[in-house]
Structure 1
């Protein structure tokens, strides 16, 4: 179950880096639904939550504006995978943040959850980053706010599902993949016509 939680959270981070981090931090701080391991407790710090909220607000606005959304995607190429590594690792309760001795960190298996989360978030991010210019070009930019809002909703929904009902992550990811594929194919046909 922890693995599914990590997969759902890192997939959500590939769409929006700050939503799953903010949800984990808020749920840990204000509810009993999430108990972050001590190494990840900083996610529920008030200052961290405020910074994540501010970054989320900037991300939401930037992602709704055509052209600016593509620039934002390029900038987020490092941030989203890093966030994916953080939320995957915290989702599977891995102690990987505090690395006092890099040899012991890489010599042990502590780096594996971080690497898995980075890979998942990067894959989702690259699909998003590739599709967005095609959608903007075929719709003269009118798709940007609609698609971005849908991505934010999917990221939030997937984050909550990953925490509350991790089994549904598989269903959610399959549905997301199907929707992305069909949307991409439909807009490619329009662009070719």
Structure 2
């Protein structure tokens, strides 16, 4: 079976945006699933992303997928993991988005590569901030089920976004716009809640009204 190749600039842009945004949610899953799809010849990856289908990269990414999957299910530990990955997910999202678009703009590669990196990093930062803030807010609740449900939703979101970007770019961009808007709204709203809640907890007060 022939692997599906990117057909046009819109599909490449969708893939770049999907990798940027997904990096803010599940960086290692985004890397592993993209590389696996290329290695299995389900798709033909753009030249800049073909390194992801190398066995050593797949093995390392796969191992980190397992670590992140488990860590993300443990309250408080997930927030620590998110805090550390603030310095990893955002530059990785920028790098993956740039790699997806490498060579697509001809002679003006430097300018467009910079623009793509900024957009990919911004998408990763937006998704990461929404995820980290939501999980920090949920961790103030003693019941474990909402934390687990949110974690599983994140696990499902990444393959869904990558698949949409490859098969239905227009639909993907619509979904992405909603996701970005929700992430921004959640970040602003829940950050205020988390800040107030932790202040009360430090002072030994009861739960917020």
Among candidates 36, 42, 49, match of residue 26 of structure 1: 36
Among candidates 4, 22, 25, match of residue 12 of structure 1: 22
Pick the structure with greater CA Rg. Answer: 2
- Could you list the runs of 5+ residues in structure 2 that have no partner in the other structure? 1-9, 194-206
Q: Summarize the Cα distance change of 1:130–1:94 in structure 2 as closer, same or farther, 3 Å threshold.
A: farther
**What secondary structure does 1:137 align onto?**
coil
Aligned-partner Cα distance in 1 for 2:180–2:46: 29
TM-score under structure 2 length normalisation: 0.74
Aligned length: 182
Query: How well do the aligned residues superpose, as a CA RMSD in angstroms?
Result: 3.0
TM-score under structure 1 length normalisation: 0.79
Do 1:10 and 1:87's aligned partners in 2 also have CA atoms closer than 8 Å? yes
- Could you list the runs of 5+ residues in structure 1 that have no partner in the other structure? 96-105
Counterpart of 2:101? Answer: 92
Any residues of structure 2 matched to 1:52-91 within 5 Å, and which?
A: 52-91=61-100
Deviations 1:86-127 (A, max 9, x none): 3212332358xxxxxxxxxx9654333222211210111011
Q: Summarize the Cα distance change of 1:8–1:44 in structure 2 as closer, same or farther, 3 Å threshold.
A: same
Q: Summarize the Cα distance change of 1:70–1:86 in structure 2 as closer, same or farther, 3 Å threshold.
A: same
Q: Is 2:174 aligned against 1:164?
A: no
Do 1:21 and 1:83's aligned partners in 2 also have CA atoms closer than 8 Å? no
Bigger RCO (CA 8 Å, 6+ sep): 1
Q: Summarize the Cα distance change of 1:25–1:128 in structure 2 as closer, same or farther, 3 Å threshold.
A: same
